[in-house]
Amino acid sequence: MSMNSPALRSFLDVPPDADFPIQNLPYGVFSPRAGEPARVGVAIGDHVLDLSVLEAAGLLVCPGREAPAVFAQPALNVFMAAGPAAWRAVRARLIELLSADTPTLRDDAALRSRALVPRAQVQMHLPCVIGDYTDFYAGIHHAMNVGRIFRGPDAALMPNYRWIPIGYHGRSSSIVVSGTEVRRPCGQYKLPDEPAPRFGATRELDIELELGVLVGVGNTLGEPIAVERAAEHIFGLVLLNDWSARDIQQWEYQPLGPFLGKNFATTISPWVVTLDALEPFRCSLPTQEPPPLEYLKGPGLCGYDIALEVELTPAGDKPGAVIARTSARELYWSLAQLVAHHTVNGCNLRPGDLLGTGTISGAAPGSYGSLLELAQRGKTPVALPDGSQRTFLRDGDVVTLRGWSQGADYRVSFGECRGRVLPARGGS
């Protein structure tokens, strides 16, 4: 039976609308309780399966990485470096052990009690040590929307956009896991009617709805990754919110691009969904016109049908609302093309490196992945159920990203990517 078959069933009770069925099994790093050592697990239903327990019991081996222990590590990097054959072998073994027809774990109460931890009680960590971070601009509707806002409709899309996957190198030190609070940043910004810039807390704190690509196997310095082999270097995907201070960014970005407007925080979801789990949800890319240059062409290039949404919840006991719904189908450049372009000059990627797709927006209002677009930089505020409006984020706001691919009788979900805005140091 296929590892993505809707007929697969776990011995655990996992409803069809659950985030983490046996067809998903995303990887994460967790502590069974706060303060306990971190180790590797997979999400299954309402539980986390502790892979270090299975490894210690001799029930799970990572091919080619038999020693030292792979899953007792506080990060996924060792497993990520093992490569796609090892990833698939481990996933197949986990599906076997969790299957309703396999007695090994199902019928061993003592082993189950050690290996299965209620998901509600665990503490999640960043899934890996992230050495480098690159943010791309692969969402064409976002690029056009932002271009219209800042340059007008006649110059909405820069002339290089359809030729080259645009990106910039960010920083990894301020990448945080979902649930971490984000402090409003300070920096320079210039108001249109004032002759000189000010220093202070950003007035235009925004979100960016993205997917994050986590690199598995890297490449040797000087050796590009061919586009047709690029997927073999992708360990999996996470949700990513690249918080942005738009006023700081606008003042600083010429001529070298984003800096303080971006580097204060990036939030990612804790569970890494593998490309193997997403295989049934491959879809065609948008038409790329003009045709890409040869190094960006290849067989099997695809997008992924992943539904995405943004929920905004005000401070206090107030109801939130989904303010945007879109899909990863809207990305212009494929994940494989991002990897190929990143390395075509010989740049070496390493296990755990993170590539952001850039903001994912659709073509219609309500499908935009940033408040900059949703509120048209203040012209059309977003209304919330409590009667308040947003052009940009206020202190205390909670932003939650969600993503999932819907199959027949199951869904492959990313869970949540959440962060709450704290006031700037010294107040807003």
- Which residues belong to the active site? 142
Q: How far is CA 333 from CA 10, 96, 188, 263, 277, in A?
A: 36, 35, 33, 24, 21
Q: How many CB atoms are located within 10 Å of the residue 237 CB?
A: 28
- AA identity, residue 403: G
Q: State the Cα–Cα distance between residues 319 and 386, nearest whole angstrom.
A: 7
Q: State the Cα–Cα distance between residues 396 and 375, nearest whole angstrom.
A: 19
Q: Is 207 left (phi over 0), alpha (psi -120 to 50) or beta?
A: beta
Element (H, E) at 106: helix 103-106
Q: State the Cα–Cα distance between residues 62 and 129, nearest whole angstrom.
A: 19
Q: State the Cα–Cα distance between residues 48 and 46, nearest whole angstrom.
A: 7
C-alpha closest to that of 351 among 167, 240, 171, 213: 213
What tokens were used for 25? Answer: 């099994």
Q: How many CB atoms are located within 10 Å of the residue 147 CB?
A: 17
Contact, 261 vs 282, CB < 8 A? no
Q: How far is CA 114 from CA 45, 105, 287, in A?
A: 17, 11, 50
Q: State the Cα–Cα distance between residues 336 and 20, nearest whole angstrom.
A: 25
C-alpha atoms less than 13 angstroms from C-alpha of 130 in its C-beta half-sphere: 25
Q: State the Cα–Cα distance between residues 24 and 95, nearest whole angstrom.
A: 10
Strand partners, 382: 390
